[in-house]
Amino acid sequence: MVNINIVDRVCFIEMQNAKKLNCLSDELCSEIRAGLRKAFDEECCAVVLKAQTRNGVWSAGHDIHELPLDGQDPLAFNVPMEKLIHDVQDIPIPVIAYVEGTVWGGACDLCLSCDMIVASTNATFAITPAKIGIPYNASGIMHFMCQLGPNKAREMFFTAQPLTALEALNVGMVNHVAEIDALPALLEEKMLNPLRRNSIIAISAIKSQFRLLTKYSVSLPPEELERLHGWRSKVYSGRDYKEGISSFLEKRSPNFISKSKDLFPPEEQH
Ligand code: YXS
């Protein structure tokens, strides 16, 4: 599912499950995580996460077939896609998302969790839980808020509409955009060659500080955390969530009927 190739201290991890649109299945996430560990063990100075595309799709996001229907949190801390996102942020080596094509759902969060993104002009980025009735998770929402600002992040989550590469560049989500043929040279010149020249131990210390500063920049009192979890569990154990998944798999439009007030029953309003 994944090809790992180390060239001149850079670890290229290529998703090769194009026939399944590189859906972030548990297996694919585990193989990418193994690639990250190999990059660290082999003392690489950078990781490049890329994909073989089909129908122009870089990754179609979490594998919808693997979303739990038994009331479990689909985006719990310990699900493989979330573990991959944590590993990308925790590995003290710059991880660059190299995007040619369309990115959907959790794969968009994965790209945002990388340290930098270079994209081809035909790339697009969409976060789509609202289309499937999924109450994304706080850490994922934070990624978008930090990178895009609250307004653009809300627009992406509420509309589930793709952002073009140029729009993503304009809001600072993407570092560089180029025509697909020019992207390899841009990656080498703007990123990989400087990273090979610079001090990796200094970069590791700087990346680890970025991680701590963003991770602890928000503190919610425990009761607020519990309230947040209550909202999420009501949604992912509710009707719209199941309807979102069934409608996708049955290739029909979803019929969402849950109401906002279902989340805030009168007895709980204060
Ligand atoms: O009909 P077959 O069996 O060939 O299967 C179809 C699709 O069902 C399948 N497929 C997927 N299967 C599992 N998980 C997926 N995420 C997924 N996406 C697609 O692949 C086969 C070809 O799909 P098709 O016919 O739609 O291809 P297309 O070229 O017309 O359209 C490509 C896409 C990517 C635009 C389209 O497949 C699409 O919109 N996929 C869903 C993208 C998405 O919303 N992903 C989010 C997944 S959930 C997730 O990541 C998070 C939990 S969250 O939602 O919270 O962000």
Q: What are the pLDDT tens digits along the chain (270 aa)?
A: 999 999 999 999 999 999 999 999 999 999 999 999 999 999 999 999 999 999 999 999 999 999 999 999 999 999 999 999 999 999 999 999 999 999 999 999 999 999 999 999 999 999 999 999 999 999 999 999 999 999 999 999 999 999 999 999 999 999 999 999 999 999 999 999 999 999 999 999 999 999 999 888 788 888 999 889 999 999 999 999 999 999 999 999 999 999 988 888 777 665
The partner residues of 176 in beta bridges, in order of sequence, read 118
Please give the model's pTM, rounded to 2 decimal places. 0.95
Ligand 1 in contact with 127 (CB < 6 A)? yes
Residue tagged active-site, from 105, 106, 133, 140: 106
What local confidence, expressed as pLDDT, does residue 184 receive? 97
Ligand 1, atom 44, residue with closest C-alpha: 128
Q: What are the percentages of helix, strand and coil residues in the chain, rounded to 5?
A: 50, 15, 30
Cβ of 105 closer than 6 Å to ligand 1, yes or no, is yes
* CB of 162 shorter than 6 A to ligand 1: no
Cβ(79) – ligand 1 distance below 6 Å: no
Tell me how far the alpha carbon of residue 185 lies from the centroid of ligand 1, in angstroms: 31
Long-range (24+ apart) CB contacts under 8 A made by 82-85 are 82/137, 82/139, 83/29, 83/33, 84/24, 84/29, 84/32, 84/33, 84/110, 85/109, 85/110, 85/113, 85/139, 85/140
The per-residue pLDDT for 269 is 65
Annotated catalytic residue, options 61, 62, 101, 241: 62
Distance of CA 60 from the midpoint of ligand 1 (Å): 5
